[in-house]
Chain A
């Protein structure tokens, strides 16, 4: 099962739960699963970047998620 980790400032959306394990095939399915578990979290996640197996995505969509994937949500990176 893929491991999904939330940063501290998203714990308000997950009732304080920092980590969850899910079996999904891609990022879109992951978002749907998280929204089902914590209705409303999708809005906060849409404003976040996500790292899937070390690769940071500002706009993930159908990126594959494997059974052993590590997924971290994080603030979007901007720049000057």
Chain B
């Protein structure tokens, strides 16, 4: 492992290598792939939120001029339950049935059939010619209603998992889970003060700019190539192959540039359909979702109901905490209630607690991962309750958190003891921040909240190639969402001891680079970065060997220093140092091309903590919130490229503010989403936000060669409660539910 203290290039801020292509329009996104003789595919979607599919007749559509193929669920192979696909894919049968409904449509927008035609217009006309007979069933849309014993059932074969005994009746509650420690009731008896509340957050979408898109072609030998926007080409390859019962080796997936994912592009929707249509038609098929389809049929995150009760002594020390969580999973199981339950109390050192979690199926789209999946909802509840506690104790909210803060050696609520973590350092940095010491503007409110995410490692590969002139190519398999190509180049340059400009990083397809799990879980800079460092160390070992052979000395007598092979101290060799360029030029004589490789399953992803605070004003006449300032403090372990770390913190804050203030899925009584577009589903735009101020805390993660912790997920966790607490501070009224939209605030203020 590299041990670097005085870094040469880590921590610098070079311009991102993909920047020019993106601002000039040269970058190729999912919808930019076109092939000769290509067809256009479209999906017919259910007009009902819950219906039995009695019959699908494709004959009229297939008879139309220009229609080359059409498929329904019956054209897909039967897929057995029980196999999990990918990092965030879930059960393969659920994914397959979400890609194309079989006997039941489980939400408005659920795919029922698909066509491929010579033009988009013909494909859309063909959808109208498909005859589907439905038996409409009552939808269940509310998580608490879905849990009621008499609720309409989405799946008669769904029996609640993890109960002490297998239930004898099916339920919409897909699973339950619990975490506990100590004696929670005795803890509440010791408390001087108890606060509690119920907090509701509706479904929200990841809101990536680029809609899902793919192009697939199946050649005469039965091999498929799929170009698509994805967070993970290898996990998509696995998913498509399993859903279609193909061999993985017959499937190549090429990732495009990606216009945002945030977890929503970890699962397949169009790709298996496009492959099947291409196979049937014998021609390439391109499929692109509309924004409306993205909202109606792709991964929102769970709507939730969270109940929290916290007891504390007068000095602020928490004696007991209890939480009851119900997370919507949408039409299929897969709600992130597990991470939600494990994260809700994670920042705090608690002796007595109980968390009970429930994942509940409702007639809405199947949820997908969204930054720190599950944590923003549960931690909103806890952080709001702590704000109420601080008010009643007349304590600074940061002091209350410091009194209870987890530290190295604290046993996390989910089991293990924390290694070195940066939560206390974040609290201290926030307390000293000029935005926190500054007086509050008249009429404004200030809110504080903490955030947390576990981070993951998982499998990564990297290959480092030394070109003839000493320049370096890094090949890896993680789509670059947040600037990872620059981060990989920085780590490679630091390890090899060469300038950043000497290294170029490329993202390969499934046949040109080794396996990598997807870009998610805040794992890429940590895990793939670790693979890049090890591949560079492989290069260095080979370079030392080549230098030793050149000089006629033992390999141990050669050191690698500042990008050059040099004789070790005390070695009597009258030689000149050999640079990477020298060694590359001499490679034909010393053994051939120099190539470094590494594959690993990275362990030890260090948890990341944050503290956010915001100042805002509320318009008493309209209920509109004006965010005056927002400050994000977060532990990054080591910021490889500080501008990208700050970008993650700012982006997470922007998304969190949108979730807190305006974003929500609005349904009518029939389960039809009423705001499936960016005009009515209101994400924040630049004019809604101030510059997000950031402060990076660096508490080294001992498991990474450069101390890296993942940074992509934690930033979205704290903004929800920080905003809610600031609104409470501004108007003097606690509103438990999100979003804090103008109508909701106005109603709380007593207006209309």
Contact = CB atoms under 8 A, between A and B. Distances in A.
Contacts, number: 107
A9 B175 CA distance: 10
A25 to B, nearest CB: 18
A79 B415 contact: no
Contact of A7 (B263, B415, B521, B601): B415
B179 A78 contact: no
B416 A72 contact: yes
Interface residues on B, range: 35 or more
A7 B419 CA distance: 20
Interface in B354-380: 369-373
B165 to A, nearest CB: 8
A79 B162 contact: no
Contact of B177 (A9, A16, A56, A57): A9
Contact of A55 (B175, B342, B371, B604): B604
Contacts of A72: 414-416
Interface string A35-69: 00000000000010001011111110000000000
Interface stretch (B73-81, B251-259, B451-459, B727-735): B451-459
Contact of A70 (B175, B178, B414, B417): B417
Contacts of B418: 54
The binding surface of chain B is classed by DSSP as loop
Contacts of B222: none
Given A72-B415, A72-B416, A78-B369, A12 B456 contact: no
B83 to A, nearest CB: 11
B417 A54 contact: yes
A51 to B, nearest CB: 3
Given A12-B163, A57-B603, A75-B338, A80 B416 contact: no
Interface residues of A, number: 26
A65 to B, nearest CB: 14
Given A7-B178, A75-B177, A79-B372, 12 more contacts: A8-B177, A16-B164, A53-B416, A58-B456, A58-B457, A59-B458, A70-B416, A72-B414, A75-B338, A79-B373, A79-B456, A80-B521
18 contacts: A8-B177, A55-B419, A55-B603, A55-B604, A55-B703, A56-B603, A74-B414, A74-B415, A78-B88, A78-B339, A79-B88, A79-B263, A79-B453, A79-B520, A79-B713, A80-B370, A80-B373, A80-B521
Interface of A: 5, 7-9, 11-12, 16, 47, 51, 53-59, 70, 72-80
- The 10 A-B pairs of least Cβ separation, nearest first, read A80-B263, A79-B521, A72-B415, A51-B416, A8-B178, A75-B338, A80-B369, A9-B177, A9-B162, A80-B371
